[in-house]
Structure formats: C-alpha cells, structure tokens
Chain A
Amino acid sequence: MNLAQIQRKMARAVFGSLAPGYRMRRLAPGGGSMRRYAATFIKPNDRLTSFERLEIYNRQYWFRVLTCMADDFPGLHAVLGARKFDRLSEAYLADCPSRSFTLRNLGSRLPAWIEKHPGYVRPHARLALDMVRLEWAEIVAFDGPSETPLQPQDLVEGFDARMKFRLQPYITLLELHYPVDDLLLEVNKSSEDGEAASNAVSGGRKRASVRRFRALNPQPIFLAVHRNDDSVYFRRLEPEAFALLAALASGKSIAAAVNAAFRTSAVPVAARAETVREWFELWSALGWFCRPAARAAAV
C-alpha cells in the first residue's frame, strides 16, 4: 500500500458515522467487518486491537466536528434541541464534509443543505432555516472581507442616478419569517451567563429556551447583518430600505433600486426623497457601500 492508498483507507474509516454509544461501526466501508478492515493496515498492540486504535481517530473526528457545529450554531441547537441538532449535524457532515483548511467554514453549506433536507428540521422548518441563515451571516460579518468604504462625499460629488454601488462583502441581507435576531441574542446571552454556572443550571436554561422558541409567532423581519468597529450587529430595516439595498446589491443603479424599493410602498411620494436621503446618510456613515468592480463600474 502506498501513502495515498493508506490515507484513503484510513480516511474512509475516520469519516464513517459513529454507531450508538459513540462507538465505531462494526461494518467497514463497502461492507465486511471493520475489525478485518482495520487489521489490514493498523498494527495492534498488547493493550488495543487494530479496531480500537482506529476507533480513537473515528471518535475524535466526530467529537471535534460536532462540537464545532454546536459552537457555530447555538441558535439552531436551541431551536431543535440537542438530539435533533446532533442528528442533523451528522447527516449534514456526512453529505458535506469539510473542504476547507479552517473549521470556520464547516457550516458554510448548512443553510442550502437544510433547504434540501427539511425533514431534519420539521416541524420548525421555517424557524430553523431563518436561524441558520442568520447564524451563517453572523460568521461572515465577524471576519468576512471588507473593502475601502465610499465616503459620504463620494456619494455627493459627481452624483448620478445611474451610479452603481456594491455592499461590503461582509454584509448579508436577510428576509426572515421569525424574529430570530432577538432569539439569537438571547441564546448568546444565556450561554455567556451559563459559563459561570454549573452544567445542570445551564442545561435547564437551554431546555427552557427550546420550549419558548418553538412557541414563537411568525413576524416578517428585514435584516442587515453587518459589522461596525469589529462588532457584529443585526439591524432591522423597513421593507423599502431592504428592497433598495437588495436591488443595489444585485447590481442595479441607484435610480432603478429606488424605483424597485417603492414599487408597492405605502410611503407617500412626497416623503420618499427625504427618506432615501436619510437612509443613504446612515448607510454611508456605517461604511456599507464600496465601489463597484472595475468592469461593472457606474453608468
């Protein structure tokens, strides 16, 4: 067996899902006995069989990635409860193992995966999907790339309604069906409080959170997840403001974005110009806009 063959053989065992009781499965990849499979390439010693030595790595892999998932998605964990969350995480990681050198990206495909596998989040599919989209957006906002922001004077000088802007790459716009932003702040706060408490106390808190979350009433929320002074914020937006930003983010000019924003709006026409001015003043002060890529430049 050469190096590549050994590593593929070991990786198949390491990535294999665990059996109940967090043990390595008895069935080898492709069928047959895992004991025989392990013995073909792992030496036993006087204390551990080949199977047991390989099992250490199989268990470590799953403990590591499942812990990472729980750390990155505490809100989804609270919505689903521990058992359903673990089941979902195992299924997700079996389909989408890490393709990145950093665990930071482990959950990058989770929102899309949940959309394709709603069975893992029923009967709270919409709530769970809202939460996971928010939590991934939070990760992006925490350390995603930023570009030199346009200054307010950049917007005023040489203003042209045909101008196009891009949003900072760390900003995510989310149209949500539940107030999961409030929920996530509550989860984060309770886990911070729990650090100083015993396990029993924090466990009780978590169970209470799950019950409360599932009783939530739907509520349309338009949200920008962004970063300011290296802290992540959830900023709720009016529907028109959200539509305007979404249109700009999709590459529309200012004029086209404003038209799209107010197409079905109840905001009086006379008030719209001032409203838009105030929005742009705030957003540019927050550094949300950056120049379009060279080829897609204005006009």
Chain B
Amino acid sequence: MPANQFNGFTDYGIGIGLRIPHYDHILTKKPVVDWFEIISENFMIDAGRPLRVLDQILDQYRVVQHGVSMYFGSAEPLSREHLRRLKTLVKRTKTPWLSDHLCWGSVDGTYTHDLLPMPYTFEAARITARKIREVRDFLEVPVCVENVSSYAEYHVSEMTEWEFLTEVTEAADCGILLDVNNIYVSSFNHRFNPMDYVENVPHHRVAQIHIAGHSRYRKYILDTHDHPVIDPVWKIYETAIRRCGPTATLLEWDDHIPSFEEVHAEALKASRFLRAVAESRAEAPPRRAPASESQLVLP
C-alpha cells in the first residue's frame, strides 16, 4: 500500500519541507534526508536564485511538489497561467506525485491566499473532482489532495468532511495527502472524533501523510506549523499508518523555524511508528480475503 499509483509507485520515507533558513545547512553539510517537499509556488518563477538553489537540491535529493493555490474547490475555472508554470516546474523536478489542498481560495480571479473550507455538498464534490482530473490530465503526474484545517462549517453541508474527501477522491480517482495534524485541529474545532475520520477515508488512496504542530487558543486551534507535533497527533498518525501501511511522511514547520537538526529530529520521530507498523505487518499472517471474494474462488 505505501507504494501505490497515487504516489507514482514510490516508497519514500520521512521527509521535511524545504525552507529558506535551512538552505545553507543543506547545501554545505549535505545531511542525509529521505526527501524534501517544496512549495510549488515558490519556484514557479522565471529565473533567479530560488531556481538555482532548487537545481542544487535536485542534484542530491528527491523532491516532491506541494502546492498552496491551485484551489481545486473554487467554483471558477483553473488558471491556465498557473497550470503552465506548474507543468514547467514538474518537468524540472520530476516529482513522482504532486499535491494541493481540498479547499477553495479564489473568487472571480481574486485570491485570498488562504485555504478556505469547502461546503460538503455533492455539487462541490462534483466540481472539485472535475478540476482535479483536469489538473492531472494536463500535468501528466499523479495528483493527491490534502485535507485542510478549518475553523468554520456551512449550513449547506450534506455530509461529513471525511465523506466529502471520499466522494471527491473516488470521483476524481486521485490520491490523498492525509494531514493528521489537520484532522486533529478540525476535530477540536468541530467536535468530532479524529479516529472516525482516519477509519473512514479510503486507505488505499493515501499516498502521503503530513505531520505538524499547531497553536491552541481558548476556543479553537489554529494550524500554525510552528511547534513540535503533539502526542495526540502522533496517536492519529500511528492509527493512520496501521490502516494505510508505512506511508511517505513529511513534517511541516513553517514559522519560528528552528535549526535544521531540530526539524529533522522531530520528523524522524515518525520512524518509530513506521518501524513498528512494518514489523507487525511482516509478522502478521497473510490477510484473508473478505467473504464475498473468497466465495468467488471456492468450488
């Protein structure tokens, strides 16, 4: 399951987000890192230093692209300029898969630069799935959508968030970047059991997992990516990889960024869970097929 059609049949381990304060360390010390995730928009430029740094990183590391402004869920059409620039970058990085968020953020060509929550309606799922397919067909690379943290819900919603995620990804036949910190944040903000979320997403579609820290306020939690991962989020992570298998995992740390070593060490905490799951899978007897499948092969 870790290597699947949604992550280009790769088997990546634990990565971290490539961030400017770490450039010097990475390029001079050349630390051993399984892979880096880049924010696509930071490199969808014509020329200059960012692309030179990226090329140096690409010479030595595996890189996966993660976007923040495709806005699959916006009602308006996709931006052709955005797609054209993204495709140029995809050719440069040779990313085995590409992710962006299950959200919206632009209206009539005006951008909020935020990850705004979707109304969980069948109409929204249909529109979003169509746009994901368009992106995948244009870019010719597997596409995964990430569940976002949210602070508001809509009256018009017709299903839960995980049902919406399932509806969209099944209709688009795309992968999932499962952000377990976002599940935790939203479960607190909307009072649901995070394990219900993890149990009910289509596990075979999970191509990558995000872990991160957040900021807790009195009445809500904000997804700030500026702290270590807390234990309840590790618990969700553990459950997720038990269901999905040892999956490519990435730590996001975007604000008050500590040293490279500190960020990398935080990410590598995931290895304990990944190892345990891999070992338990190796020891477990082969999974029995469900009864209906068994009946097909029985005389």
Q: For residue B258, give the distance in angstroms from its CB to the closest CB of chain A.
A: 14
The distance in angstroms between the C-alpha atoms of A41 and B116, with both chains bound, is: 14
* A230 CB contacts on chain B under 8 angstroms: 48-49, 52
For B50, give its contact among A11, A143, A231 (CB under 8 Å). A143
Task: Provide the residues of chain A in CB contact with B81, threshold 8 Å.
Answer: 101
With an 8 A cutoff between CB atoms, is A263 at the interface? no
Q: Does B112 contact A (CB under 8 A)?
A: yes
Stretch at the interface among B11-19, B28-36, B148-156: B148-156
Beta-carbon contact of B47 and A97 below 8 Å: no
Whether the pair B121, A56 counts as a contact (CB closer than 8 A) is no
CB pair A42 B155 closer than 8 Å = yes
Q: Quick one: which of A24-66 are within 8 Å of B by CB?
A: 40-43, 45-48, 50, 52-54, 56-57, 60-61, 64-65
**Cβ A56 vs Cβ B112 within 8 A:** no
A2 to B126, CA, bound (A): 12
Nearest residue (CB) in B for A43 is B153
Interface residues of B in 238-268 (CB under 8 A from A): none
Q: Is the CB of B112 within 8 A of A14?
A: yes
Indicate if the CB atoms of B191 and A145 lie closer than 8 Å.
no
Indicate whether B9 reaches chain A with its CB closer than 8 angstroms. no
Which residues of chain A in 254-279 are interfacial with respect to chain B, using CB atoms and an 8 Å cutoff?
none
Give the interface centre of A15, A46, A103 by most chain B CB atoms within 10 Å.
Answer: A103
In the complex where A3-B119, A145-B47 touch, is A101 in contact with B111 (Cβ < 8 A)?
yes
Residues of B in contact with A (beta carbons under 8 Å apart) = 41, 44-52, 69-70, 73-76, 79, 81-82, 104, 106-114, 116, 119, 121, 123-124, 127, 151-157, 189-191, 219-220, 222
Q: Is A203 an interface residue (CB 8 A)?
A: no
What residues of chain B lie closer than 8 Å to A41, measured between beta carbons?
A: 154-156
Taking Cβ atoms with an 8 Å cutoff, the residues of A that contact B are 1-4, 6-8, 10-11, 14-15, 40-43, 45-48, 50, 52-54, 56-57, 60-61, 64-65, 97-104, 142-146, 170, 227, 230-231
Say yes or no: A11-B112 contact (C-beta < 8 A), given A45-B191, A56-B152.
yes
Across the interface, name the chain A residue whose C-beta is closest to B73: A3
User: Contact between B104 and A14 (Cβ–Cβ < 8 Å)?
Assistant: no
Mind listing 5 A-B residue pairs with CB under 8 Å?
A: A14-B112, A14-B116, A46-B191, A98-B110, A143-B47
Residues of B with C-beta under 8 A to A100: 111
- Residues of A near B114 (CB, < 8 A) are 14, 57, 60-61, 64
B111 A42 Cβ-Cβ under 8 A: no
Residue pair B46, A3 in contact (C-beta under 8 Å):
no
Kindly state the separation between the CA atoms of A6 and B123 in the bound complex, as whole angstroms: 12
Q: Which residue of B lies closest to A12 (CB)?
A: B107
Say how far B101's CB is from chain A's closest CB, in angstroms: 13
Q: Which of B81, B113, B189, B220 has the most CB of A within 10 A?
A: B113
Contact for A57 among B79, B152, B156, B191, CB less than 8 A? B152
CB distance from B114 to the nearest CB of A (A): 6
Least CB separation from A5: chain B residue: B75
Using known A-B contacts A41-B155, A56-B152, determine if residue A3 contacts B123 with beta carbons closer than 8 Å: yes
> Besides the contacts A3-B119, A54-B152, A143-B46, what 6 more A-B pairs have beta carbons closer than 8 Å?
A2-B75, A7-B75, A40-B155, A42-B155, A53-B153, A143-B49
Query: In the complex, are the beta carbons of A6 and B119 less than 8 A apart?
Result: yes
What residues of chain B lie closer than 8 Å to A47, measured between beta carbons? 219-220
Q: Which residues of A contact B190 (CB under 8 A)?
A: 45
A4 touches B75 (CB 8 A): yes
Q: Closest residue to A1 on the B side, CB-wise?
A: B156
Q: Nearest chain A CB to B255's CB is how many angstroms away?
A: 11
Q: Which among A1, A53, A146 is the interface contact of B152 at CB below 8 angstroms? A: A53
A56 touching B151 in the complex, CB below 8 Å, given contacts A3-B123, A64-B114: yes
* Bound: A101/B69 CA distance, A: 6
Top 6 nearest A-B pairs (CB, nearest first) are: A145-B46, A143-B48, A4-B75, A53-B152, A230-B49, A11-B107
- Contact A101/B41 with A11-B107, A46-B191, A53-B152 known, Cβ cut-off 8 Å: yes
Q: Find the B residue at minimum CB distance from A104.
A: B45
Taking the closest CB of chain B, its distance from the CB of A151, in whole angstroms, is 18
A53 vs B123: C-alpha distance when bound (angstroms): 23
Residues of B within 8 A of A4 (CB): 75-76
CA distance A46 to B219 in the complex (A): 9
**B127 to A, closest residue via Cβ:** A3
A162 nearest CB across to chain B (Å): 30
Distance from A4 Cβ to chain B, minimum over Cβ atoms (Å): 4
Contacts of A48 in B (CB 8 A): 219-220
Task: Tell me which residues across on chain B come within 8 A of A146, comparing CB atoms.
Answer: 46-47
A99 lies within 8 A of B110 (CB): yes
A97 and B82 alpha carbons, distance in the complex (Å): 18
**B154 adjacent to A102 (CB under 8 Å):** no
Partner of A11, one of B110, B189, B219: B110
List the B side residues contacting A65 at CB < 8 Å. 113
Chain A CB within 10 Å, residue with most, of B106, B127, B152, B189 = B152
List residues of chain A with CB within 8 A of the CB of B107: 7-8, 11
- Cα-based distance from A230 to B45 in the complex (angstroms): 13
Indicate which residue in A7, A60, A101 contacts B79 across the interface (CB closer than 8 Å).
A101
Structural contact, A3 and B121, CB atoms closer than 8 A: yes
Report B-chain residues with C-beta under 8 Å of the C-beta of A53. 151-153
Asked whether B41 lies within 8 Å of A43 as measured between CB atoms, the reply is no
User: Are A43 and B155 touching (Cβ within 8 A)?
Assistant: yes
